[in-house]
Amino acid sequence: MAKTYPVGIDPHQTEFVKLVRANTTRHREHEVFRDFCELSALSLSNAVDRIHYDVREARYLDMIKRYNVDEVARFPLMLAHLVESLEGGFKDCIGQLFMAMELGSHWNGQFFTPYEVCRLMAKITLTDSQSIIEQKGFITLQEPAAGAGAMVIACAESMKDDGVNYQRCLHVTAQDIDITAVHMAYVQFSLLHIPAIVIHGNTLALTEWDVWVTPAHVLGGWDHKLRRRRDDERSEQSDAVAPANSDAAPLEAERTRIVEFRTERAEQLGLFE
């Protein structure tokens, strides 16, 4: 009996599911979905991140060997339908597909928060974005358990609704322990042009295994913007009564370390070189 999917996903998501299923003659559905997320993330990263290019290009070429010519051709079509779906409005498109296809059992019973709930939380939280931007130039957002990125996307939508250009006035540091979730979030942030650092790591244990920077992060010069803000805050802190070496939040400290690392190697970054 053919598998059916819940009502609620748009036509492009429906076509995405059909393409995934067409690739399941030799592969399991959750494997095709997982590989789509990683292949898309690798392709987007390799367009802008020269630091990780060689390792990620080798990983891409190794993965693609598992599929035949017809199967390989379906992956860019899946990405095209994802783009078209996101063109229709802000949503957690990949998270919705993950839940609609009932893939959670293959990832330890993962459940992604419905996007409507994330929108409500974003509206409640981002009540003074304009004043923060006026004072500091931009907002930094930290997400310790990113999932597919729904909360971050909802915050970007909330800022846009308030007349704020999130592509210029928001920077995100997101983290997740699950590598597929990292790829899901990274792909959606990249397609929505959200400046972000996406970390594969354990927020509670303060461990990190990999780092992904979105095209918007690279094109917007965010390594330098974040470093400049850090230097300004350190200067202000040294003039204040509070000790200058007070501990930063784990993700903020990790963001600082990553920015320092990348700024030292800025000459390795480029777009479509």
Q: pLDDT tens digit string along 121-141?
A: 999 988 888 888 988 899 999
* Total domains in the fold of the chain: 2
Residues 208 and 199 sit within 8 Å (Cβ to Cβ): yes
Alpha carbons 22 and 73: distance in angstroms, whole number: 11
**Residues 31-89: tens digit of each pLDDT:** 999 999 999 999 999 999 999 999 999 999 999 999 999 999 999 999 999 999 999 99
Please tell me whether residues 97 and 119 are part of one structural domain: no
Dihedral sign computed on CA atoms, order 126, 130, 133, 136: negative
Look at residue 273 in the predicted model and tell me its pLDDT: 29
Of 68, 85, 107, the last residue of a domain is 107
- Position 82 in a domain: yes
Is the pLDDT at 272 greater than 50? The verdict is no
Which domain does 93 fall in, by range? Answer: 11-107
Residues 99 and 126 in one domain: no
Burial (Cβ within 10 Å: 0-12, 13-18, ≥19) of residue 95: buried
In the block, residue with structure tokens 């067409």: 22
pLDDT at position 94 is 95
Shared domain check, 160 and 208: yes
| Interval 83-117: pLDDT, tens | 999 999 999 999 999 988 888 765 556 778 899 99
Query: What are the beta bridge partners of residue 172?
Result: 141, 196
Query: What is the DSSP secondary structure assignment for residue 267, as one 8-state letter?
Result: G
Are both 154 and 232 inside the same structural domain? Answer: yes
Cβ neighbours of residue 96 closer than 8 Å, sequence gap 6 or more: 8, 9, 13, 115
Specify the range with the lowest mean pLDDT, choosing from 6-10, 132-136, 199-203, 245-249. 245-249
* Alpha helix ranges (H) inside 142-247: 150-161, 166-169, 179-191, 215-219, 222-239
